[in-house]
Amino acid sequence: MDDKIAFVFSNNLLNYKFRQGHPFDQKRIELTIDLLKEIGALSSSQMILPRMATDEELLLVHDPTYIEAVKKAGKGKLSIEQAENFGLGTEDTPIFPNMHEASAIVVGGTLTAVDFVMEQQGKHALHLGGGLHHGFRGKASGFCIYNDCSVAIQYIRKKYDAKVLYIDTDAHHGDGVQWTFYDDPNVCTVSIHETGRYLFPGTGNIYERGHGQGYGYSYNIPLDAFTEDDSFLFAYRKTVSEIARFFQPDVILTQNGADAHYYDPLTHLATTIRIYREVPKLAHELAHQYSEGRWIALGGGGYDIWRVVPRAWALLWLEMTGQVEKATGTLPKRWLEKWGNRSPVSLPETWDDPENLYPPIPRKSEIEEKNRITVEKALQILKG
Amino acid sequence: MLVEEMMVTDVITLKKEDSIKNAVDLMKEKKIRHLPIVDRTKTLIGIVTDRDIRSAVPSIFCIDKQKEFLNKPLETIMTTDVITAHPLDFVEEVAATFYKHRIGSLPVVKKEKLVGIITQTDVLKTFVELTGTNQPGTQIEIRVPNKPGTLADILQQIRHFHTNVLSVLIYPDKMKAQSKIIVLRLGTINPNPIINALKEHQYEILWPNLSGYHNG
């Protein structure tokens, strides 16, 4: 490890907690950190503390009335009627004490990662608490209150004037980020997700390509439900490499949601842990090829917090720090023992998933064909 | 929804004395395919479409004839028997008119004056809005017996969860004549609690699901 690489974390990030039993659960970060420490892949010297985002920074993307509403909600001073207009107090984003502070530190963590990379303290930074890509200008959506990805990109534009490539491999469409930069040719957004035919948020079809000056700077690959590793990786590699070559980014921001796995309870893709080895690998390569290594990786979705997210996110850090060889064979025994009896499901014992993780998918070849055509259509405008 | 809520009011028009070349250039510049023809009082007297021009233009090999053709006034090729819409027509009526006459656009006329134009694209956009897909949400499909009270019962189940219903569509079930399919768009990223509650009440969820194949 020649370069310094940062892992942004503090226990304050765990305050982003809606309620007991809510699917969005940051315990997954604790599980990931513990796993990395067990294999000796994360040292305290690599960890840096997130700062709090200021109101001014949040205003780069969010409406002042919305920020006020979140602040009031966190103090129990927002009526139910008012809350509904801002997407707060719903089943997805219930109100919780001090929700403004808990959300502002999530954004601040992403800004900390950005400054670390852009001020050349090191080439890469990871902030697993971030990646809340559904947040809108004036509305909470899909578990996301403030959109740290959007704020960070706008912050990079204003402070460093760099061209940003945003790569979103969460199983849900990265709608909040896409719409924020829909007419901006200096920010290229790529989202690879399960088709919105049934899945939230419903957008992210190939014809959402940007608007005005930003036309040709938004890309979407809606994959069919039950897409498996090979087809997912084909779509990802082809799309992301061609777009990076076309766009020549100054910095790459990846949203590494870990909810495309077969086990994920909220989505219907059928990938395995293998994609979480491969996805960061290419992002890493492209960052060195086009952006002098500048790469900021964020968390995102991921609702099987026991069997999927810890391995997937550990692999992200291992790729970033060049230690993937540490993720072979069985998982550390101490980790399995420690978390095994707290987990409601039995934990996988190996880094890789077994061959027969799930029964064969009907219509597999049709799904692959459809995804291939989707990729072709989405990339058509690159050739023009 | 009414035509007046969907139509474009800033209509690009020409006069019957204008040349066919004017129309060709204007269509190209504005990327449109339909030009209503009006008189000085904005009364609609005809329409010219890109199809009218294409089918009237002489062969490209007769350049002289083509020049002559392009200089002719629009009244020589315009359709005078125009199918129109009224601002108070409903979206469904307009959609049916497009379908029945196989046309792509309708001038909107009130008291003989042209007040707007509505195209198939505008109607399609409205239908997309009606299905609620322009707001973040999850879609679920439920097969239900075709009898009164079913929709109310389903919504009653959903009422327990603090989740907004963005749209409801009901369509005939092509597989089973005695049932219907209800499509709900829910303002949530996590439909599982609602799906489970509906399943407990013996409702058949078609999607998200795949022919007997279950995830997780």
- Is A249 in contact with A156 (CB distance < 8 Å)? no
A81 touches B at CB < 8 Å: no
Residue B111 lies in a domain: yes
CA distance A99 to A113: 22
Closest partner CB to A202 (pick from B137, B210, B215): B137
pLDDT above 90: percentage of residues in chain A: 98
- Do B22 and B82 reside in the same domain of the chain? yes
Predicted pLDDT at A3: 67
Predicted pLDDT at B116: 96
Residue B13 lies in a domain: yes
Residue B216 lies in a domain: no
- Do B14 and B109 reside in the same domain of the chain? yes
> Is A238 in a helix, a strand, or coil?
helix
Burial B47-76 (b: 16+ CB within 10 A, else e): bbbbebbeeeeeeeeeeeeeeebbeeebee
Tell if the CB–CB gap between A91 and B161 is shorter than 8 Å: yes
Residue B213 lies in a domain: no
Closest partner CB to B192 (pick from A142, A172, A265): A265
Tell if the CB–CB gap between A175 and B193 is shorter than 8 Å: no
Residue B126's Cα: distance from chain center in Å? 6
- Do B194 and B142 reside in the same domain of the chain? yes
Tell if the CB–CB gap between B162 and A91 is shorter than 8 Å: yes
- Do B68 and B151 reside in the same domain of the chain? no
Is pLDDT above 90 for B208?
A: no
Residue of B nearest to A198 (CA): B139
A203 touches B at CB < 8 Å: yes
- Do B80 and B143 reside in the same domain of the chain? no
- Do B160 and B120 reside in the same domain of the chain? no
Tell if the CB–CB gap between A91 and B163 is shorter than 8 Å: yes
Residue A184's Cα: distance from chain center in Å? 21
Burial A113-124 (b: 16+ CB within 10 A, else e): bbbbbbeeebbb
A357 touches B at CB < 8 Å: no
A215 touches B at CB < 8 Å: no
- Which chain A residues are Cβ-neighbours of B169 within 8 angstroms? none
Read off the pLDDT of residues A325-377 as tens digits, 9 standing for 90 and up: 999 999 999 999 999 999 999 999 999 999 999 999 989 999 999 999 999 99
- Do B110 and B201 reside in the same domain of the chain? no
Closest partner CB to A198 (pick from B161, B187, B208): B208
Predicted pLDDT at B62: 78
- Do B9 and B99 reside in the same domain of the chain? yes
A200 touches B at CB < 8 Å: yes
- Do B15 and B87 reside in the same domain of the chain? yes
Predicted pLDDT at A118: 98
Is pLDDT above 70 for B213?
A: no
User: Which residue is associated with the tokens 């992002």?
Assistant: A283
CA distance A253 to A298: 8
**Closest approach of B193 to chain A, Cα-based (Å):** 10
Predicted pLDDT at A227: 97
What element of type H or E holds A190?
strand A187-194
Residue B203 lies in a domain: yes
Closest partner CB to A23 (pick from B136, B137, B190): B190
- Do B23 and B70 reside in the same domain of the chain? yes
- Of the three residues B102, B127, B152, the one that is the final residue of a domain is B127
Our count of domains for chain B comes to: 2
Range of the domain at B61: 3-127
Closest partner CB to B216 (pick from A265, A359, A362): A265
Predicted pLDDT at B59: 75
Two structure tokens written together for A257: 């949601």
The closest of A314, A276, A320 to A297, measured between CA atoms, is A320
Residues 6+ apart with CB under 8 A from A135: A62, A141, A144, A145, A146, A147, A148, A150, A176
Tell if the CB–CB gap between B163 and A90 is shorter than 8 Å: yes
Tell if the CB–CB gap between A200 and B189 is shorter than 8 Å: yes
Closest partner CB to A201 (pick from B137, B164, B208): B137
Tell if the CB–CB gap between B215 and A266 is shorter than 8 Å: no
Closest partner CB to A201 (pick from B136, B208, B213): B136
Residue B213's Cα: distance from chain center in Å? 35
Residue A155's Cα: distance from chain center in Å? 18
- Which chain B residues are Cβ-neighbours of A272 within 8 angstroms? none
CATH code, domain with B142: 3.30.70.260
The residue extents of the domains of chain A are 5-383
User: Which runs of consecutive H residues, i.e. helices, occur in chain B?
Assistant: 3-6, 20-30, 50-56, 63-71, 91-101, 120-130, 150-159, 192-200
- Of the three residues B127, B148, B171, the one that is the final residue of a domain is B127
CATH topology of domain A5-383: Arginase; Chain A (3.40.800)
Predicted pLDDT at B215: 41
**Closest approach of B132 to chain A, Cα-based (Å):** 9
- Which chain B residues are Cβ-neighbours of A91 within 8 angstroms? 161-163, 188, 190, 193
CATH code, domain with B76: 3.10.580.10
- Of the three residues B97, B127, B157, the one that is the final residue of a domain is B127
Q: What is the mean pLDDT of each run of 10 residues along chain A (384 residues)?
A: 83 96 97 98 97 98 98 96 94 96 98 98 98 97 98 98 98 98 98 95 95 96 97 98 98 98 96 98 98 98 98 98 97 97 96 95 94 97 76
The complex's ipTM works out to 0.85
A362 touches B at CB < 8 Å: yes
Query: What is the pLDDT averaged over residues B47-64?
Result: 85
